Amino acid sequence: MSWLLVFAGLCLLVVLHEAGHFFAAKATGMRVEKFFLFFGPKLFSVKRGETEYGIASIPLGGYVKITGMNPEEEFPPEVEHRAYYHQPVWKRIVVIGAGPAVNIVLGFLILIVVALTILPTETPTVQEVLPKTPAAGLLQPGDTILAVDGHRYAGLGDEAQAGQIRQQIGTHHCKGKQRNGCLASTPVDLTIRRKGRIVYVQVRPRYDAAEKRSLVGFSFDSKPTGIGLAAAVSRVGDLGWEVISQTSQRIAKIFSAKERKEIHGIVGASDIGHQTVGLGAAAALTFLALISLSLGVINLFPFLPLDGGHIFWSLVEKVRGKPVSLQVMERASIVGLALVAMLVVIGLSNDIGTLTGEGFHVR
């Protein structure tokens, strides 16, 4: 069932992306001939008015066919005034930009809904104690940390308490230079509520070079909770910008061996989606939102056949004051096609390596 939900979610993103093009084209008076989910041979279609709606056989994306998308396309004289390349530049940019815009706006909206309704918030309660760590044998799942080194944080709210506890533990340093695995020179004094009793525990944190701080070896429990609209918008804005910038940087550094390892295709995205669905609604919706944001950003890269390529050449035409020849755009599109092909090949290659290796470590 989780695989079916992932497939449905990815299809929804494609449909909404193409719907952005479709409704923008209709709103600006262009003639839309086809609106299809997937590519390849047609499986099913129905015609309503001048537009054919259908599903094709190869589940990789979708498309909207607008009359006159090819500058050299022939069409009946009576529809010439509604052809794509017979429209002002601003209308063409609106139509092409509508698809990525829908994905980006949708991604932000989903993240805001998650933040307002079912965002997991850490609590000062111990969820899991990791084996072979300083906390093993001293802390237990279900322990509630009331104070650290005599500092109490009861009036701050659950998430703030967890943050302050983590920060105070991190103030305990190893003697001399901090190195991975060294024990702090002084122990942390923890005041704990355990099954209705107050328990006092001393534990020496161990420095973790990857985290760049001292840890005792437990994870905080979390609970679904909503936050205010202002806080939700601020948090989502930061996360969304991080996704957009990281996606752009990763694609821009495609020739870096290190960056290439982080690129995954539809197989990898589906596998991560399958795992996140099992983690609950918040994780699944967040995954869908991040995919939607990435899809929108990637489509804005200025290379044909991506949407950004069409926008780029429309702007070039506006600056030049006359259309760009089809031959020039076709030659330039070789770069875009090569980029898309590289992304597909690298993504599938990484997917195969991941799915036959140690996995994505989502859990």
Q: In this predicted model, what pLDDT tens digit does every residue of 75-89 receive, in sequence order? A: 888 888 999 988 999
Q: What pLDDT shows up at residue 211? A: 82
What residue type is assigned to position 175 of the chain?
A: K
| Residue at token pair 């695989």 | 3
Q: What would the mean pLDDT of 228-250 be, rounded to a whole number?
A: 73
Strands 197-203 and 119-129: unpaired
pTM of the model: 0.62
Sequence-separated contacts (24+) of 247-254 with Cβ below 8 Å: 247/293, 247/294, 247/297, 247/298, 248/297, 251/298, 251/301, 251/343, 254/339, 254/342, 254/343, 254/346
Q: Which residue has the higher pLDDT, 363 or 200?
A: 200
Q: Which residue has the higher pLDDT, 205 or 287?
A: 205
Is residue 246 over pLDDT 90? no
Q: What pLDDT shows up at residue 119? A: 62
In the structure, what pLDDT confidence band is assigned to residue 101 with cuts at 50, 70 and 90?
A: very high
Tell me which DSSP letter residue 69 carries: -
Query: What is the DSSP annotation of 131-197?
Result: TTSTTTTT--TT-EEEEETTEE-GGG-HHHHHHHHHHHHTT--BSSS--TTPBBSS-EEEEEEETTE
Contact between residue 245 and residue 297 where contact means Cβ atoms under 8 Å apart: no
Phi, psi of 171 (to 5 degrees): -80, -10
Across the chain, what does the average pLDDT equal?
80
Return the minimum-mean-pLDDT range out of 141-145, 212-216, 302-306: 302-306
pLDDT in tens, 138-188: 999 999 999 999 888 877 777 788 888 888 998 999 988 888 989 999 999
Q: Which residue has the higher pLDDT, 235 or 29?
A: 29
Return the minimum-mean-pLDDT range out of 15-24, 49-58, 104-113, 264-273: 264-273
Q: Which residue has the higher pLDDT, 327 or 279?
A: 327
Q: What pLDDT shows up at residue 347? A: 52
In the structure, what pLDDT confidence band is assigned to residue 273 with cuts at 50, 70 and 90?
A: very low
In the structure, what pLDDT confidence band is assigned to residue 225 with cuts at 50, 70 and 90?
A: low
CA end-to-end distance (rounded Å), the chain = 19
Q: What pLDDT shows up at residue 258? A: 56
Return the minimum-mean-pLDDT range out of 4-8, 176-180, 351-355: 351-355
Is residue 356 over pLDDT 50? no
Q: What pLDDT shows up at residue 357? A: 46
In the structure, what pLDDT confidence band is assigned to residue 275 with cuts at 50, 70 and 90?
A: very low
* Domain boundaries along the sequence of the chain: 100-117+235-355, 121-225
CA distances to 11, 19, 70, 243, 265 from 294, rounded to whole Å, are 15, 18, 27, 7, 12
Is residue 352 over pLDDT 60? no
pLDDT > 70 in the chain, percent: 79
Is residue 328 over pLDDT 90? no
Query: What is the DSSP annotation of 21-49?
Result: HHHHHHHTTPPEEEEEEEEEEEEEEEEET
CA distances to 21, 55, 120, 293 from 24, rounded to whole Å, are 5, 21, 37, 20
Q: Which residue has the higher pLDDT, 353 or 249?
A: 249
Query: Was domain 121-225 assigned CATH 2.60.120.560?
Result: no
Is residue 195 over pLDDT 50? yes
Is residue 36 over pLDDT 50? yes
Of 100, 119, 107, the closest CA to residue 237 belongs to 107
149: left (phi over 0), alpha (psi -120 to 50) or beta: left
pLDDT > 90 in the chain, percent: 32
Q: What pLDDT shows up at residue 249? A: 67
Is residue 5 over pLDDT 80? no
Cβ within 8 Å of residue 78, ≥6 positions away? none
Q: What pLDDT shows up at residue 88? A: 93
